[in-house]
Chains A and B, each alone.
Chain A
Amino acid sequence: MVSRRGFLKGGGLALFGVGLIGGIPGFIAEAAAREKITRLYKKKKILVCIFQRGAMDGLMAVSPFTDTYFQAARPSLFMQHDALTDLDGRFGLHPALAPFLPVFQDKRLAIVHGIGSPNNTRSHFDAQDYMESGTPFDKGTPSGWLNRAVGLLGHDGLTPFSAVSLTSAMPRCLYGDNPALAIGNLQDFAIQMRGNPAATNLAAKSFEDLYDQTAAGLLKSTGQESFEAMKMLQKTDTRNYKPSGNAVYPNSALGNSLKQIAQLIKMDVGLEIAFTECSGWDTHFGQGTTQGVFARSATDLASAIMAFWTDLDAFQDDVTVMTMTEFGRTVHQNGTGGTDHGRASCNFILGNDVEGGMVHGDVKPLAQENLEDGRDLQVTTDFRSVFSNVADAHLSIAGDSVLFPGWTGDKAKVMQIFS
């Protein structure tokens, strides 16, 4: 028989290191108590997903620079060998993504090229919707794949922070019946009356009392959790957070979101699935090469992710970061120095249990006959095969028929196989 104290100490929720002793929020204690005994010595893992909205040009991010068809298709957008970082003799990393290089060389970063959806829609809305619901041919799926993942975590001990989206509105991928929280900014997690601390205290105390005594079960339990979570966040100085390892986050929406995700991870509040997003990838006009719209978005992406990774420090083992984008862009550049909506793109997966240091997937020479509909990079890897591989390997989620209903394909092999 494991004593409660020993249980907490040994369990997935280590409550030390953030000064919480003596003030353990009830929901964390309860979550720990509800943990199945089998997971006692298994540390919680965290999957961080980043949606690059607008459809990233995967061929510019990770460029098949030896492909003469590609060079011909992009008179002003093709980037020569010397402008890129050669990854494997065939693909070159865009210079704005250079911060990724050390983790790629260190085999912690994997790239999957030719990834996309089996549904060939080129509508941002539809393609994002399908990628987030995880059902590429069914609009009416009420839940999102990440929310279903919460239900498959295999333990009961969920906290209000088990699944968090650092966005103001709940993203489609987290729609559903399992608990998920969307919050634009952790500092908003408080009772707020500007410039009036006495009134704020009174209001907070009053609300806490009222919600504590209400007969309405849902309002009572959520109210208790809200106040516990609020107090916990207040204990940690989220405003003056100092990242580890001198990590410098870009002052961008993505940088700020990832910084807050790092804080939640370090606070050990039960986070297992985190989501955020970035924009600026819909490069129809003046896409640029080493400079320009694409380069700016790519710089933000790479520097934010790498700041996050540095900041995680000792927590790196627990975390996998995965990017996704709804589709890729045309192989040929258009008349306005940009690219239009295409099919396959690439994505990035970062973590210590990733099969890194290589470009996975199948990219054929970009000759006309190899292009989908005669214009686009073919989708050779179904996004579900990668997402399910990552979820399975990192979060120990089994249950592909629930995660991706109707999908019967083979999992990708972007994660290391070990137990």
Chain B
Amino acid sequence: MAAGVPREKHVRFPYKQAGLTEARAAAHLIGRFTFGATPGQVDEVCKEGLERWFTRQLDAREPDDSLDAMLSGYDALNLSNDSTLHVFLRRDQLVRMAKKEGVIPSDSAALSDPNAYKDILESYRKEKGVKLPQELYRQFYNQKVLRAAFSNNQLLEVMTDFWFNHFNVSVTKGDCAIYIPAYERDVVRPNALGKFSDLLLATAKSPAMLYYLDNFNSRGGGINENYAREVMELHTLGVDGGYTQSDVTQAARVLTGWTVYPIGPGREDNPQARKLDAMSPEQLSTRGFYRRGDFFFNPGRHDKDEKTVLGKTFGPDATNTPMEGYQEGVDLLEMLAHHPSTAHFICRKLAVRFVSDDPPASLINKMAKTFLDKDGDIRQVLLTMVSAPEFWSPGAVREKIKSPFELAISSVRSLHASVDQPQQLYNWVSRMGEKLYSYQAPTGFPDKGQYWINTGSLLNRMNFGLAMASGRIPGIHFDLIALNDHHEPESAQAALVTYSRLLMPERQTDETVKRLTPMLNDPALGDKVATASGEDKPGQSNAGMLPQVVGIILGSPEFQRR
């Protein structure tokens, strides 16, 4: 990984030219490439130097001991796909297994008592030591929250989130869901800061994608075009990238035979799997099979005739040349990965994520040039972006609206909170309109403020701020007074001034303070709030007012921006 990391001495960020102080530039940089600034982080980054901090984040090799400790109990997340399939069985799979073993009679009459049926099934499940997939997803969702909140390799997590959404798969699709934890772990994160072509190829070969877009089932004479279409429209060229319906069909033919090796329970009863398992690697390869991990190329399902995609010819396959069929698909994906339309499409999407909802063409052109010159090296593209004046321009700073997940995690980070029940944050993020891993369409969540901000979601964001600050989200703990070096603010107004600066470093908060001060200074109101909050010190209501003030800050328009 380290080989591709640029050295910071060759890097200069042009923020001074854009009229930004170092501190304000640091706040902008942190806001874009982390899930939110932690207390004191702006000063730390200034001290280290913005360029050095950023290249260290690109390197993504920061020790993460405390995060690792938090994740140590998440045993399901280390399993291979095969083990996952053995350990986590859906109810219908369990029923099938139970029937096969005669634990449940297979005629319908015996199913009349639903409770007895349930009991039999439950004790059978325990006896077999299998678990429900919900447990896998619980661990998976929780780790997403914990990594975002606590990883020291923030940029790696931000990019993992970005690429997952770009190469979206969805737990709402039953066949694909169980492979998604391994997809993020083995396919997305390891390639998130590498070369785009490696990432593309890894997604193409992953069970999650093969099932999500149905290529696993595509064969010569019976093609399924879903993956071939989306790999061009959404993953590489973009909808206006210059391909035709014929290119889609022909690409689907090139990719026939790309499927998943038979894994999981039930393999013993699958004659094809038994035959394959018995073959040595040499035997597999002389017959033209290709297996890497769970990916499997089956030449018997591959369309061996000539195909033409974007003017390039694939096949016809020469006889007795093992793996030629597989290599066609690799060549196709390499061609797509290095296409100029892809460079522009990917760079625009990166700029939308990191710069503004409508990034300038001048910036995208610079990034696309780097993309093409540097073999799709994602680190180099990011560096070009941050080294460009456009990144630091007034049109970029504070212009992005946080997604619900970014809002929730940035609240945790800014309050220096601990998280014992990550699922509580997952639930809030869902309520605010971002049900993680559940976006149904292969487009992924739209990355623009207009998608996230509507009348319903905005009220939920405010309610989130209030619930968070008042400690009403179970399992989230923090100490507001400690954040301010254990000084209790003297008044609600003082709290507003102090905590606005602490939670929104380098933002202009004067207007917020001016606007809210008259209201907060109404002593009668403060008492009422404190009394109703259960504080028993009317007249000294600061303690009661503090969570209220912080809640208003977290729900304020300024905190929604990054």
Contacts and interface: CB of A to CB of B under 8 A. Distances in A.
Contacts of B529: 196, 198-199, 202
Contacts of B466: 191-193, 203
Contacts of A280: none
A371 interface: no
Contacts of B519: 202, 205-206, 209
Contacts of A141: 441
B561 interface: yes
A343 interface: no
Interface string A174-191: 010101111100001111
Contact of B173 (A125, A197, A209, A220): A125
B401 interface: yes
Contact of A198 (B450, B460, B525): B525
Contacts of A417: none
Contacts of B234: 140
B139 interface: no
A179 B533 CA distance: 37
Contact of B456 (A125, A133, A189, A207): A189
Given A169-B430, A203-B466, A214 B226 contact: no
B540 interface: no
Interface stretch (B59-67, B105-113, B275-283): B105-113
Contacts of B269: none
Interface in B75-116: 92, 106-108, 111-112
Contacts of B107: 335
Given A125-B173, A125-B174, A202-B525, A285 B111 contact: yes
A335 B456 contact: no
B401 A218 contact: yes
A124 interface: yes
B256 interface: no
A219 B560 contact: yes
Interface string B171-213: 0111100000000000000000000000000000000000001
Interface core residue of B456, B531, B548 (most chain A CB under 10 Å): B456
Interface stretch (B15-23, B335-343, B508-516): B508-516
Contacts of B463: 191-192
Interface stretch (B122-130, B367-375, B551-559): B551-559
A196 B557 contact: no
A213 B291 CA distance: 60
B111 A336 contact: yes
A230 B462 CA distance: 13
B98 to A, nearest CB: 12
B446 interface: yes
A336 B453 contact: no
A381 B551 CA distance: 54
Contact of A139 (B213, B430, B458, B551): B213
Given A182-B433, A210-B552, A139 B441 contact: yes
Contacts of A169: 430, 433, 435, 438
A199 B533 contact: yes
A179 B401 CA distance: 17
A226 B459 contact: yes
Contact of B511 (A126, A175, A213, A337): A213
B532 interface: yes
Contacts of B531: 198
Given A191-B463, A335-B108, A219 B533 contact: no
Contacts, number: 167
A6 interface: no
A124 B440 CA distance: 12
Contacts of A222: 453-455, 458
A125 B172 contact: yes
Given A182-B456, A196-B532, A335-B108, A172 B512 contact: no
B420 to A, nearest CB: 21
Contacts of B229: 138-140
B31 interface: no
B430 A211 contact: no
A190 B466 CA distance: 12
A160 B458 CA distance: 12
Given A124-B174, A222-B458, A175 B435 contact: no
B533 A196 contact: yes
Nearest to B173: A125
B525 to A, nearest CB: 6
Nearest to B516: A206
Interface residues of B, number: 66
A133 B226 CA distance: 14
A181 B454 contact: yes
Contacts of A133: 441
Interface core residue of B440, B450, B466 (most chain A CB under 10 Å): B440
A172 B226 CA distance: 17
Given A140-B230, A196-B533, A203 B111 contact: no
Contacts of A10: none
Contacts of A191: 459, 462-463, 466
A285 B109 CA distance: 11
Nearest to A182: B456
Nearest to A194: B472
Interface string B205-247: 0000000011000000000011001100110000100000000
B36 interface: no
A129 to B, nearest CB: 6
Contacts of B557: 210-211, 214, 216, 219-220, 223
A218 B459 contact: no
A336 B105 CA distance: 10
B108 A207 contact: no
A216 B561 contact: yes
B525 A210 contact: no
B230 to A, nearest CB: 5
A86 interface: no
B454 A285 contact: no
A183 B456 contact: yes
A164 to B, nearest CB: 9
Contacts of B459: 188-191, 226, 230
Interface in B441-473: 441-443, 446, 449-450, 453-456, 458-460, 462-463, 466-467, 470, 472
B431 interface: yes
Contact of A207 (B460, B462, B525, B532): B462
A397 interface: no
A142 interface: yes
B528 interface: yes
Contact of A210 (B440, B470, B515, B532): B515
Contacts of A396: none
Interface in A137-187: 137-142, 160, 168-170, 172, 175, 177, 179-183
A99 interface: no
Nearest to A221: B453
A286 B516 CA distance: 62
Nearest to A207: B462
Interface of A: 76, 123-126, 129, 133, 137-142, 160, 168-170, 172, 175, 177, 179-183, 188-199, 202-203, 205-207, 209-211, 213-214, 216, 218-220, 222-223, 225-226, 229-230, 284-286, 335-338
Given A139-B229, A196-B533, 8 more contacts: A172-B440, A198-B525, A202-B525, A203-B548, A203-B552, A206-B516, A207-B556, A209-B516
10 shortest interchain CB distances as A-B pairs:
A337-B108, A198-B528, A214-B557, A160-B455, A196-B532, A125-B173, A219-B557, A226-B455, A199-B529, A142-B443
23 contacts: A125-B173, A125-B174, A169-B430, A169-B433, A175-B441, A192-B467, A193-B466, A193-B470, A194-B472, A198-B525, A199-B533, A202-B519, A202-B548, A203-B548, A210-B512, A213-B515, A219-B453, A223-B557, A226-B456, A284-B92, A335-B106, A336-B111, A337-B111
